[in-house]
Amino acid sequence: MRTARLNRLTPYMFMAPAAIIMGIALLYPLAYMIWGSFRAWNPTQQIGETEFVGLKNYITLWNDAAFRESLGVTLKFAISVVSIEMLLGVGLALLLDRNIRGMSVLRTLFILPMMIAPVVVGLMWRYMYHPTVGTFNRFLEGIGIDGIDWLGKNALFSVIVADIWQWTPFIFILSLAALQSLPQSALEAARIDGATGWQQIWHIKIPLMMPVLIVTALLRLIDAFKVLEVILVMTEGGPGLSTEILALRISRTATEFRELGVAAAMSNYLLILLLILTGLMFGYTKWQEARAARLRMAKEDG
């Protein structure tokens, strides 16, 4: 009896040190941020010396038009880049999932953008968008079209394009891995039944890839809400607040405005938003799995 109990506890004993370290590393900073969001805190003070203000920081932010605008920019940016990147990444994976000479080299070239440091990506696109010597305007002027103010009134669009260029390869890699791990028996059965290429994609490949695609979209969505370096280098959040996402506003609130309590409250708003989106996506995954199980049972009963 005692030996059996020890055998059951052994895996947990080996996991305990790592779990304790990870718990401290995760929970302590999170608790510190939550506690700081309830205080009037600036960089000259220790957190224990600050005044407790309750929900004042949260209420102030909720009534702050600049914060709401940054939140809107963040949602617009994140939803746009993730939607387009998913379409392009999955499309490229479907296109390149075949045995063609030189395909390995082509796949390697596709993933190069995500290997470049974000600061370098920001500088590169900033120079390409330059109004006089930039690559895009020089090309437009070469074909007789007036140059575009890329980082002015079109700044958000320009930042979205840069992010799509850098992170579509991430979607492509995971989608291609999902495609190559699909059960060949299902695809062979579909081909024998006379399914066309499009029918195989819509009715076999995409449904089987869906769990991986949902996790991939979730990872990119979380990362898109935290983009900082590329936007900071390209536009510094301007012109005005047109490209100031929440991550950039949090940084400015803490460093320029020296309001650590307000910055902590803003971080918590962002955390809550990400938790809601994560819950919705995992809920959708569970619903899809339950629906597939019901369909299988109905098929077996029939």
- How many Cβ atoms from other residues are within 10 Å of residue 302's Cβ? 5
Cβ–Cβ under 8 Å, residues 200 and 187: yes
- How many Cβ atoms from other residues are within 10 Å of residue 211's Cβ? 13
CA distance 215 to 201: 19
What does the pLDDT read at residue 42?
A: 86
3-class DSSP string for the chain = CHHHHHHHHHHHHHHHHHHHHHHHHHHHHHHHHHHHCCEECCCCCCHHHCEECCCHHHHHHHCCHHHHHHHHHHHHHHHHHHHHHHHHHHHHHHHHCCCCCCHHHHHHHHCCHHHCCHHHHHHHHHHHCCCCCCHHHHHHHHCCCCCCCCCCCCHHHHHHHHHHHHHHHHHHHHHHHHHHCCCHHHHHHHHHCCCCHHHHHHHHHHHHHHHHHHHHHHHHHHHHCCCCHHHHHHCCCCCCCCCCCHHHHHHHHHHCCCCHHHHHHHHHHHHHHHHHHHHHHHHHHHHHHHHHHHHHHHHHHC
- pLDDT tens for the chain, residues 1 to 302: 567 676 777 777 888 888 888 888 888 888 888 999 999 988 888 888 888 998 999 999 999 999 999 999 999 999 999 999 999 999 988 888 777 777 777 777 888 888 898 999 999 999 999 988 899 999 999 898 888 999 988 999 999 999 999 999 999 989 988 888 888 887 788 788 788 878 888 888 888 888 889 889 988 999 999 888 899 999 988 898 899 999 999 999 998 888 999 999 999 999 998 899 888 888 888 887 777 777 677 766 65
What does the pLDDT read at residue 300?
A: 64
CA distance 299 to 68: 49
Model pTM score: 0.87
CA distance 250 to 244: 10
What does the pLDDT read at residue 288?
A: 77
The structural domains of the chain, ordered by start, are 65-254 (1.10.3720.10)
What does the pLDDT read at residue 186?
A: 78
